[in-house]
Amino acid sequence: LAAARGGDGPGIEPLRRQVAAVSRRLGRRLKILVGKPGLDGHSNGAEQIALRARDCGMEVVYQGIRLTPRQIAKAAVEESVHLVGLSILSGAHAALVGDVIERLAAEGGPAVPVVVGGIIPPEDERALLAHGVKRVFTPKDYDLGQVMAELVRVIDQSWA
């Protein structure tokens, strides 16, 4: 996404400071990949996350919808991202997330943390977390500021 900032809403400055602090600690600007694997074509949520992350000072890789797990994993490693965020509303989260995590390992990159957003039942959320997903976001997580703070926290803890 373009580097220009577009959103200056309430609470953005503390988030920008958090992003800057963790970026300094890691030696480079925080960089995330927002992926839409599978046949799900509903991109609004993923695009809102990508834009808000950019507004908070993160670099964002977003390649659109209907990507394969292989494409997502390859891009994550090639782009040296700090976090992969997957948006899945199709109900295929179990298979798609597992495939992305396996392909990230197969690509030989570092252990990039994965977070998932979508309509995910509690029992599936537990299974995803047990499979290595760092955080699951559902429709109850509608506050973008809190989501951004959580992404920064996951990156900070994962790359400590």
- Average pLDDT value for residue range 76-89: 95
Per-residue pLDDT at 5: 45
Task: Please report whether residue 102 resides in a domain.
Answer: yes
Q: Is the pLDDT of residue 108 over 90?
A: no
Number of domains in the chain: 1
Is residue 6 a part of any domain in this protein? no
Q: What are the backbone dihedrals phi and psi of residue 59, each rounded to the nearest 5 degrees, phi first? A: -85, 135
pLDDT at 38: 84
State the Cα–Cα distance between residues 101 and 69, nearest whole angstrom.
8
CATH number at residue 59: 3.40.50.280
Mean local confidence (pLDDT), 126-138: 96
- Which residues on neighbouring strands pair with residue 61, listed in sequence order? 33
**What's the pLDDT at 24?**
98
Residue 42 inside a domain? The answer is yes
Q: What's the pLDDT score for residue 131? A: 93
Residue 20 maps to a domain: yes
Alpha-carbon distance of 146 to 144, in angstroms, equals: 5
* Res 7: pLDDT: 65
Model confidence pLDDT, tens digit, residues 21-79: 999 999 999 999 999 998 877 899 999 999 999 999 999 999 889 999 999 999 999 99
In a domain, 2, yes or no: no
1 assigned to some structural domain: no
111 lies in some domain: yes
Q: Round the average pLDDT of the chain to a whole number and report it.
A: 92
Residue 126 lies in a domain: yes
Residue with tokens 């997957």: 86
User: In DSSP terms, which residues pair with 83 in a beta bridge?
Assistant: 32
Tell me which residue range forms the domain holding 85.
Answer: 12-158
pLDDT of residue 156: 98
Measure the CA–CA gap between 27 and 13, rounded to whole angstroms: 21
